[in-house]
Structure 1
Amino acid sequence: MLARSASQTLAEQLAGHYAARIRQRLLLPGARLPSVRESARRHRVSPSTVVAAYDQLLAQGLVEAKRQRGFFVRDGDTLAPRAAAATPEATAEAARLAITTETALRLAAPRRPPPVDATALIRGMFAADAQRPAPGLGTLPAEWLDAAMLQTALRRVMAPAKSASATHVPSSYLSYGEPAGDTRLRHALAQRLADFGVPATPAQIVTANGATHALDICSRALLAPGDAVLVDEPGWSVEFARLTQLGMRLLPVPRGVDGPDLAAMAALAKAHRPRLYVTCSVLHNPTGASLGLASAHQVLRLAEQHDFRILEDDTYAHLAPAHAPRLSALDGLRRTIYVSGFAKILAPGWRVGFMAAPPDLVERFVDVKLLGTLTTPALLEQAVAVCLEQGWLRRHADRVIARLGAARTRTVKLALASGCRFVTPPAGLFGWIDTGVDTERLATDMLDDGWLLAPGTVFHPGRQPSTLMRINFATTQDPRFWRAFEKARQG
């Protein structure tokens, strides 16, 4: 990475490297930079070069040195260029702080509640090394997707327009789509939901630009700033960030193999009167666990007792058994709202999602959708409808499930051989593993080598230190990753 013949000094290049990571939010506020010795070893430079680079970052106001702890990324609210470079005395003190005992350097940085920094994981998706799998991403490899199926679906949708004269082009191609979403897709979705036992008519379904957009519509329609919301912990970092930006108070409920900690949920509900519980009941992100039937019944009882609604995120429905218990099926869409989408199974860019809701909420959701995006793209929605109607999506999902099962078997063996422990039984797309080391630090180190990880800290609202990590079974079959992982963990 560092070029000795470049026009910049090695220290300037190294400072620029870390500065770019910080400004791109790939190094989050509170994250600890590698120690002077560790950075010197990693980048094959002298400790004095690293000290000079860190001095430049200090002068730019991007990092701060903390006694007996090391260098940390400053909070985004306080980032500002400094008027002058640090004094030689300050540089010497910074070096002394950095070169200390291993035990002291492994102490965690002070933690702030920064769920909005979950965007770092999203930004990482666009910064990932295209030549290497990204173990931390939540998508399928591109080669697993069926581009031919998508092209055929689009051709079928476009065929009537191509064959018609210019004066007979369907009006849906020349105007806004329907406010609630394409009628053809909503009928196909109603049939799809019936397979899960979710009783939704087409009139109860509203489409969105992906499942995340559907979750956002529901939150904006049902909540006001200051409302309390129950969330799974660990849970989806982007959901924590989104709710926090809307001004909600998050109430983390510990999530186990069979579902949420019911005693903790009951206590939180009694004390805080939440308006909503947001959960991923089947193939939970990040643990891969699914809600047990007994737990599902108890969750619904608590919702009735404490008068809160349940927002059920079934993003990974296409990778899960149809018979897996859905809260929306057990409840009959009375207190529940069911959300899902197709980006995880078709392609990340196919942002087609939807929500199935109680009849009295539908128009409220449509109003929020109209204010935010007007309507959703009818062309893509009709193409998804074709994939559902023709059975293409079901057959594609079956192939992906079989391929994922084989990948999961291989990845489990590699993870166990590398000394990791699975916290929950391996299932679905994600594995939730204990690495035995601080995974935020591990993620920082491995990012320099082109490996994007999903450390456990981003799956907690309070971003506490964690030895856990989410892996994508489809993208962690490469033994090169596990060799790099073992090297970074030992370093």
Structure 2
Amino acid sequence: MPTATHPPLQRGASQPLAGQLAERYAQRIRERLLLPGARLPSVRDCARQHGVSPHTVVAAYDQLQAAGLLEARRQRGFFVRETRPAAATRLPHAAAAAAPRQAPMDATALIRGMFEADAARSPGLGTLPADWLDPALLQSALRRLHDAQAHAVQLSYGDPSGDERLRNALGQRLADLGIHAGPAQILTTNGATHALDLIIRSQLQPGDAVLVDDPGWAIMFARLTQAGIRLLPVPRGARGPDLDVLAALAAQHGPRAYLTVSVLHNPTGHSLDLAGAHRLLRLADEHDFFIVEDDSYGFLASEHAPRLAALDGLRRVTYVSGFSKVLTPAWRVGYLATAPERLRALTDTKLLDGLTSSPVLERAVALCLEQGRLRRHAQRLRERLATARQRVASLATRQGFSWAAPPDGLFGWLNVGVDTERLAQPLLDAGWLTAPGALFSATRRPGPLMRINMATSLDPAFWRALRACVDDLRGRATTP
């Protein structure tokens, strides 16, 4: 019997089983869900996963080699070839069937997964599921906007710095966090990702070295690399970033900046304590680099958690946040707060990028903040997540798994004991979209860790499937 249940190969279809299997892997290679150098399952393992004969697998792998997508390495197995994009063409006579769900194996695949994922079957999701959000809060803000300020807000480009009413409300939000920044030090953006992009384009140059958390955010690794930036990975574990390694890297390479998540780090869930924050700021002074503090998950954390920007007074730290994680991903509203001397270049880059950000959505977010309803919604989310974490921790313990760092906020960093990149494929075939640890590594380092979303991992069926797949991989590793 096959171990793969989603989606099955179609026996008796017009396309032979070997062609269907080849097209399945070709699709994953075309979409860069299997990257150059990735190893495919052995012939025996692949046959068992898909319930076909080894002869069928050999025929499928032969087709992939003929298409230039795969190469066989003597006594090692089959590997994805390094090819130019044009070479990843569709196999001859492939069936025009809907593409199966695919495991996220690089930054662009992760973004696609955000749009395509079914939260109920996506333990690796990077956001809250839709049914955790508050549509009534959004509708109320839009109604109030249309009742009171529709014409003034909707009939102009808006202020390049951002809606003034929102910047005033953000000033109060920052004050609650101990960050003192008036409206003149705040720039609104099309989401937190846009804010980070503006910083890369206006504050960094090709060839600059930049410290990054490892594990960290794959999309940011991709953006920095695309801009010609040299990445200096700083190991991050249960106790946060390894500041001894950071100090050594800073002394050797003279980095221009450090991009980090200080509170509810993605993917470990770790938050910096005061001692770590103070030492990090001293290192920034000693080695003359600036810090970008990404607080995208800040609404899911206590306001009392120390922020680098509060301790530093926005001298070396630029603070970045947004509202997609707690309001709705559809409202692309983010912002940054920084020193006045850095703000001009950032504003100019925003102007060249797209003139302004949406004054309508920014005013709606301002109303959510002013009413106090966003604060109450965030409190409910924190309470619900605390309950979910207890439930997920119990499910993980029941199946014999442990955490690499104490779970907090939305994420947990789970140790399953086998290579999670290899594990992602059989789990995907069983219908579960996961986030293997290599996805969060600046060097795509394989390992036994994976990100778990506390809000989308409450189904015991996932944990049973995870246990079964882990045991299957271990069994194959010990079979002579």
> Could you tell me which residue of structure 1 aligns to residue 79 of structure 2?
72
* Equivalent position amino acid for 1:429 in 2: L
What is aligned with 2:315? 334
Residue of structure 2 in register with 1:358 after alignment: 339
Partner residue of 2:13?
Answer: 6
Letter in 2 for 1:141: P
State the Cα distance separating 1:132 from its structure 2 match. Answer: 3.3
Asked if 1:454 corresponds to 2:423, the answer is: no
What does residue 124 of structure 1 align with?
113
Which range moved further: 179-188 or 252-261?
252-261
> How much has 1:7 moved relative to structure 2?
1.1
Partner-residue secondary structure (3-state), 1:52: helix
Counterpart amino acid of residue 462 in structure 2? F
Q: Structure 1 residues 372 and 116 mapped into 2: Cα distance closer, same or farther (>3 Å)? A: farther
Instruction: Describe how 1:102-113 pairs up with structure 2 within 5 A.
Output: none
Distance in 1, matches of 2:106 and 2:10, equals 32
1:262 aligns with 2:243: yes
Match of 2:97 in 1: none
CA 1:42–1:391: 2 relative to 1, 3 Å: same
Distance between the aligned counterparts of 1:262 and 1:13, measured in 2? 50
Correspondent of 1:489 among 451, 457, 470: 470
Cα RMSD for the two superposed structures? 1.8
Helix, strand or coil at the partner of 1:425 = strand
1:294-333 superposed matches below 5 A: 294-333=275-314
The 2-side partners of 1:127 and 1:396 are apart by: 26
Matched, 1:372 2:353: yes
Q: Separation in 1 of the partners of 2:75 and 2:131?
A: 48
Q: Residue in 1 aligned with 2:222?
A: 241
Query: C-alpha offsets along residues 240-290 of structure 1, whole Å, 9 cap, x if unaligned?
Result: 111111100111112233432222111111111111011100011111010
TM-score scaled by structure 2?
0.91
SS at match of 1:277: strand
Residue number among 188, 194, 198 corresponding to 2:169 in the alignment: 188
In structure 2, give the amino acid aligned to 1:137: L
Say whether 1:174 aligns with 2:155: yes
The 5-angstrom pairing of residues 46-61 of structure 1 reads 46-61=53-68
Deviation at residue 78 of structure 1 after TM alignment: 7.3
Query: SS state of the match for residue 455, structure 2?
Result: helix
- The answer (yes or no) to whether the contact 1:26–1:121 under 8 Å persists in 2 is no
Q: Which residue of 1 aligns with 2:5?
A: none
Q: For the Cα contact (< 8 Å) 1:237–1:459, is it kept in 2?
A: yes
In 1, Cα distance between equivalents of 2:189 and 2:328: 16
3-state SS of the aligned residue for 1:197? coil
Partner of 1:150: 138
Q: 1:421-461 CA deviation, whole Å, 9 max, x = no partner?
A: 11111111110111100100111221222211111111111
AA aligned to 1:449 is A
Question: How big is each residue's C-alpha offset from its partner over 1:282-308, in whole Å with a ceiling of 9 and x where there is no partner?
Answer: 011111010010111111111111111
What whole-Å deviation, never above 9, does each CA across 1:72-95 have from its counterpart, x for those lacking one?
22224377279x99xxxxxxxxxx
Check 1:316–1:182 CA distance in 2 against 1; reply closer, same or farther (3 A cut).
same
Distance 2:28 2:330 in 1: 25
**1:125 deviation in Å?**
2.5
AA of the residue aligned to 2:430: D
Superposition deviation, residue 69 in structure 1:
2.0
The residue that corresponds to 2:4 in the other structure is: none
2:296 alignment partner AA: T
Distance 1:30 1:349 in 2: 36
- Distance in 2 (CA, whole Å) between partners of 1:472 and 1:81 is 33
Native 8 Å contact 1:284 1:290 kept in 2? yes
- Give the count of matched residue pairs: 453
For the 8 Å contact 1:27–1:444, the answer to whether it is kept is no
Q: Secondary structure at the match of 1:345?
A: coil
SS in 2 for 1:474: coil
Deviation at 1:29, TM superposition (A): 2.2
Report the CA distance between 1:349 and its aligned residue: 1.8
Contiguous gaps of at least 5 residues in structure 1: 86-114, 163-168
1:23 pairs, out of 26, 30, 33, with 30
Q: Which of 265, 276, 286 is the matching residue for 1:284?
A: 265
**How many angstroms does 1:133 deviate by?**
2.8
Q: What is the one-letter code of the residue matched to 2:394?
A: K
CA–CA distance in structure 2, aligned partners of residues 76 and 355 of structure 1 = 39
Partners of 1:334 and 1:358 within 8 A in 2: yes
Q: For residues 342-353 of structure 1, what are the structure 2 equivalents within 5 Å?
A: 342-353=323-334
Give aligned-pair identity as a percent.
Answer: 62
Cα distance in structure 1, aligned partners of 2:15 and 2:172: 62
Query: Structure 1 residue 394 and structure 2 residue 375: aligned?
Result: yes
Alpha-carbon displacement from aligned partner over 1:154-196 (angstroms, at most 9, x marks no partner): 111111366xxxxxx32x3122121011111100000000000
Which residue in the other structure is 2:446 paired with?
A: 465
Match of 2:99 in 1: none
Question: Aligned in 2, Cα 1:228/1:116: closer, same or farther, shift over 3 Å?
Answer: farther
- Aligned partner of 1:211 in structure 2 is 192
Mark the CA change 1:131 to 1:325 in structure 2 (over 3 Å): closer, same or farther. closer
Quick one: distance in 1 between partners of 2:367 and 2:119? 33
Structure 2: unaligned runs, 5 residues or longer:
1-7, 93-103, 473-480
Alpha-carbon separation, structure 1, partners of 2:383 and 2:83: 44
SS of corresponding position for 1:212: helix
Mapped partners of 2:349, 2:46: distance in 1? 49
